[in-house]
Amino acid sequence: MLVTWMRRVYERIGRKTGIGYWEKRAKRYGARSVLNIGHTGEEMAALTERQKEILFPLLAGQLRGDERVIVDFGCGPGRFTPSLSELVRGSAIGVDPIQRLLDLAPCANGVEYRRVESGRIPVADGSADVIWVCLVLGTITEEDALGAAAAEIRRVLHPDGLLFVVENTARKPDLPHFRFRTVDAYLSLFPWAQLDVVGGYEDLGERISVLAGRRGS
Ligand SMILES: C[S@@+](CC[C@H](N)C(=O)[O-])C[C@H]1O[C@@H](n2cnc3c(N)ncnc32)[C@H](O)[C@@H]1O
């Protein structure tokens, strides 16, 4: 009885946060599940390199040089996590709710992966110098779950820490498991972060915008 009730509660949470969808998608596509499925598995390495070439200089341009801990929020199979630890010359913590994706993530010095459970980022308050969020928020379809994720990001980020957000801002109709939000929607999601648009690129004809800013008090 209790087990059935617990399962129902978790299923309801899973549906609401899209976690159930991500579990199925990761099972079906593996590491490739984190890409626009219009990309083939063979394109994955080249696409990741292209994203690093565009995004890492933008991130480096925002760093002050004293950052040591970076959190890769929604890291999936850790496409960026080891390189992020190198970029800050410190440590990176990749966090994601999908264990199947975390299990695919590459081990490296200064890198660890932790599972997000019940929406909680398993990182202490104010302990991240930088939070990197790459193509995650559009996958959170429910506005209350999105607000909860933003609140968790704020909790974990150092009071003076840097938030770096990469999201799809194409003007397209939403999909059942994806929200095409505007730059303004992301700016207003983090009113405490003094975000600016610092760059962008096109992927399969869709605009990907890059926003960065410090938390401030
Ligand atoms: C499009 S993938 C991007 C993964 C990775 N950032 C990358 O660029 O390779 C979206 C990721 O967000 C994760 N995710 C979905 N909902 C989440 C949530 N509420 N909190 C944290 N991560 C979430 C998914 O499990 C998935 O790994």
pLDDT tens for the 217 residues of the chain, in order: 544 544 454 455 455 558 999 999 999 999 999 999 889 989 999 999 999 999 999 999 999 999 999 999 999 999 999 999 999 999 999 999 999 999 999 999 999 999 999 999 999 999 999 999 999 999 999 999 999 999 999 999 999 999 999 999 999 999 999 999 999 999 999 999 999 999 999 999 999 999 999 998 5
* Of 29, 49, 93, 96, best ligand 1 pocket probe by most atoms within 8 Å of the beta carbon: 96
The string of DSSP codes covering 39-89 is S-GGGHHHHHHHHHHHHHHHHHTT--S---EEEEET-TTTSSHHHHHHHHT
- Tell me if 123 CB under 6 Å of ligand 1: no
For residue 216, the model assigns a pLDDT of 80
pLDDT computed for residue 115 by the predictor: 98
Which pLDDT score is estimated for 9?
45
For ligand 1, whether the C-beta of 104 sits within 6 Å is no
Collapsing DSSP to helix, strand or coil, 128 comes out as strand
**Rounded Cα distance, 153 and 149, in Å:** 6
Shortest-distance Cα residue to atom 4 of ligand 1:
76
Smallest CA-to-CA distance from 153 within 181, 119, 177 is with: 119
Q: Using the atom order of ligand 1, give the atom closest to the CA of residue 35.
A: 1
Output the pLDDT for position 6. Answer: 43
- pTM value? 0.93
pLDDT of residue 78: 98
CATH number at residue 190: 3.40.50.150
79 lines ligand 1 (CB under 6 A): yes
Q: What is the pLDDT of residue 41?
A: 87
Question: What 8-state DSSP symbol labels residue 124?
Answer: -
Number of structural domains the chain divides into: 1
Q: Is 114 left (phi over 0), alpha (psi -120 to 50) or beta?
A: beta
Domain with 204, as residue range(s), is 2-214
The pLDDT of residue 3 = 44
> Among candidates 136, 109, 126, which has minimal Cα distance to 33?
136
Question: Residue 17: CB within 6 Å of ligand 1?
Answer: yes
